[in-house]
DNA sequence: CGGCGCGTTGACGCTGATCAAGTTATGTGG
DNA sequence: CCACATAACTTGATCAGCGTCAACGCGCCG
């Protein structure tokens, strides 16, 4: 396991005036996105946020680290990773601009969080989060609901991993990424996939080869097309939605 | 999907006298258990709790129901179930005496909860939970941590489903059940398995046959022995812990 | 140029699903 | 209490989805 602790020196107070964290760097292919309404209203926290940049491949925290900070992604992409002693890896989620992470750990992180691309985050001290939540029932409620939503997504992923075929998993993943980057998009949607095939495989409980083959199949079927530099285009959403359902009969 | 709503008539205030619910039927092998320390201290809630009995095979709530109540199990055993349109099923967790459930749903339950055996619960109105949490930061914090623990367990299960062999899944499940019913137990431990093979299969992402075969193998290896009426005995914990690790090399 | 990371494609085999009996529990009505 | 029906479990034979191993192409960078 890599244990590169990125320098803390680039953390700067956000204190006063205009939010300076509005995506100055354009490193990531993933465009900055407004936080969705249900997660956006943790405004009370903003005054405690500090900006931080983590370079591609580096960790925000490792499994086992004390949970001292929570994060909101401004730009870039992050994965949360579980590793076991044999080197087997499970990626719990990919996080995109607007997403929050680190809020659902107990005192100690049980997964590590790693930057897939150069990533800009706002970073909230855990003690500030807890203190604010102690005083403001509304914030506590929103935090609770945030973790609840994560739990619901985890349950959906358990279903995916336990009960769906390789084709269904890949198709569902692509649709999920599409929905997250362009909510409600209907026609041909361009989806950025900033992660490697290995990342997708470790997220979907498959191997690199199976992911690759499945996507090739989807291309042949005309459901998707491969765009430039880690993007795909969804051409036929319905084909994607029903893909692999026939595999398990 | 079965939509039997058990009668609400058998709900009675908890205040009263001797618990007449001490397992009249011998279906439930799971003995009552004290709530573990970290979950037990939701004491503020107790005054709002009402007792309720749900018979084996009946639902506490269905997926899609508004989340009006949360529950603590007094005796019995519960499963939380996700179902899809094809009839594929995923059991997120099995819940034992002392366990809490229903706390991690948003406004609407996304899984259904069904009694595996005749089950006695204490039932807390969601509005009371929320109102109390609004006023008592400490309670809110404990609720948050409760949901966080559930999320961590969900992540561990994602790892199990995505990355472990059939043997490892079954072995891990038996060890988990052992740990939950007899924490820290060292020697030969007797473990109640109040669920069917189909339940185990739908929890572990396997088929009935594979579960059955794997347990037969474990018996042959002397790691476990089958006891009476849905119980097994763990004879060799280390053999169990390393079982199936060789299968995937 | 050559090494390296990443992705693709093919051949083959194994784990676990599927199909099919058959046996043992569980429950029900006589 | 037994007879019967049904659910739950076990075991075997066969199959296929996906993993494994291997080779190769491509873009990037020193």
Q: Is residue B127 less than 8 Å (CB to CB) from chain A?
A: no
Q: On chain C, which bases lie within 7 A of the protein's CB atoms?
A: 6-11, 15-20, 25-27
pLDDT of A172 higher than 50: yes
Least confident of A65-69, A226-230, B206-210: A226-230
Burial category of B135 from C-beta neighbours within 10 Å (exposed 0-12, middle 13-18, buried 19 and up): exposed
Which of B160, B193, B208 is the last residue before a domain boundary? B160
Q: How far is CA B202 from CA A238, B87, B93, B170, in A?
A: 28, 11, 10, 12
What is the band of B21 on the pLDDT scale with cuts at 50, 70, 90? Answer: very low
Let me know whether A173 and A149 are in one domain.
no
Let me know whether A32 and A76 are in one domain.
yes
Instruction: Give the closest nucleotide to B199 (alpha carbon vs C1').
Output: D8
pLDDT on residue A218 = 96
Three-state DSSP class for B33? coil
Q: What is the spatial distance between Cα B193 and Cα B224, in angstroms, rounded to a whole number?
A: 13
Which of B160, B187, B212 is the last residue before a domain boundary? B160
Q: Is residue A41 less than 8 Å (CB to CB) from chain B?
A: no
The model's pLDDT over B166-191, given as tens digits with 9 standing for 90+, comes to: 999 999 999 999 999 988 877 889 99
Q: How far is A127 from chain B (nearest CA, A)?
A: 12
Q: What is the mean pLDDT of residues A231-246?
A: 89
Give the H/E segment covering residue A239: helix A237-241
Position B248 in a domain: no
Domain that holds residue A150: 12-160
pLDDT on residue B188 = 86
Q: Is residue A159 less than 8 Å (CB to CB) from chain B?
A: yes
Q: Which two tokens stand for residue B13?
A: 């205030």
Q: How far is CA A155 from CA A50, B17, B80, B149, B231, in A?
A: 32, 39, 10, 14, 28
The total number of residues written for chain A in this structure? 249
Interatomic separation, CA of residue A38 and C1' of nucleotide C22, rounded (Å) = 56
pLDDT on residue A246 = 64
What is the band of B228 on the pLDDT scale with cuts at 50, 70, 90? Answer: confident
pLDDT on residue A38 = 44
Let me know whether B25 and B97 are in one domain.
yes
Let me know whether A54 and A148 are in one domain.
yes
The model's pLDDT over B115-153, given as tens digits with 9 standing for 90+, comes to: 999 999 999 999 999 999 999 999 999 999 999 999 999
Residue B180, phi then psi, degrees to nearest 5: -75, -35
- Beta-carbon contacts of B244 under 8 Å, excluding residues fewer than 6 positions away, are B164, B165, B166, B167, B168, B169, B170, B171, B214
Q: What is the spatial distance between Cα A154 and Cα B151, in angstroms, rounded to a whole number?
A: 7
Position A147 in a domain: yes
Interatomic separation, CA of residue A37 and C1' of nucleotide C29, rounded (Å) = 61
User: Of the candidates A88, A140, A154, which has its C-beta nearest B140's C-beta?
Assistant: A140
User: What is the percentage of chain B residues whose pLDDT exceeds 70?
Assistant: 82
Q: How far is CA B172 from CA A89, B175, B178, B196, in A?
A: 17, 5, 10, 17
Q: What is the spatial distance between Cα B114 and Cα B79, in angstroms, rounded to a whole number?
A: 5
Q: Can you say whether the dihedral through the CA atoms of B190, B191, B197, B202 is positive or negative?
A: negative
**Bridge partners, residue B226, by sequence:** B232
pLDDT of B8 higher than 80: no
Candidates B81, B178, B88; CA nearest to B170 is B178
The model's pLDDT over A101-160, given as tens digits with 9 standing for 90+, comes to: 999 999 999 999 999 999 999 999 999 999 999 999 999 999 999 999 999 999 999 999
Domain count, chain B: 2
What is the band of A247 on the pLDDT scale with cuts at 50, 70, 90? Answer: low
């Amino acid at each position: 396991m890599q244990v590169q602790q990125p320098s803390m020196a680039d953390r700067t107070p956000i204190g006063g005036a205009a939010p300076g964290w509005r995506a100055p760097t354009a490193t990531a292919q993933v465009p900055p996105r407004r936080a969705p309404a249900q997660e956006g209203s943790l405004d009370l926290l903003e005054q405690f946020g500090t900006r931080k940049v983590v370079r591609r491949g580096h960790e925000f925290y490792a499994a086992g680290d004390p949970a001292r900070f929570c994060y909101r992604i401004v730009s870039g992409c992050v994965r949360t990773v579980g590793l076991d002693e044999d080197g087997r890896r499970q990626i719990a989620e990919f996080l995109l601009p607007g997403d929050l992470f680190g809020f659902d750990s107990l005192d100690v992180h049980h997964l590590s969080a790693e930057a897939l691309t150069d990533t800009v985050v706002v970073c909230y001290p855990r003690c500030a989060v807890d203190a604010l939540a102690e005083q403001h029932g509304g914030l506590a409620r929103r935090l609770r609901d945030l973790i609840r939503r994560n739990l619901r997504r985890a349950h959906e992923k358990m279903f995916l991993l336990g009960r769906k075929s390789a084709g269904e998993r890949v198709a569902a993943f692509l649709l999920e990424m599409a929905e997250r980057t362009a909510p409600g998009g209907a026609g041909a949607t361009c989806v950025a996939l900033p992660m490697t095939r290995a990342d997708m495989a470790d997220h979907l409980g498959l191997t690199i080869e199976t992911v690759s083959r499945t996507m090739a199949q989807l291309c042949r079927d005309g459901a998707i097309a491969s765009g430039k530099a880690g993007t795909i285009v969804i051409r036929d959403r319905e084909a994607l939605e029903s893909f692999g359902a026939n595999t398990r009969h």
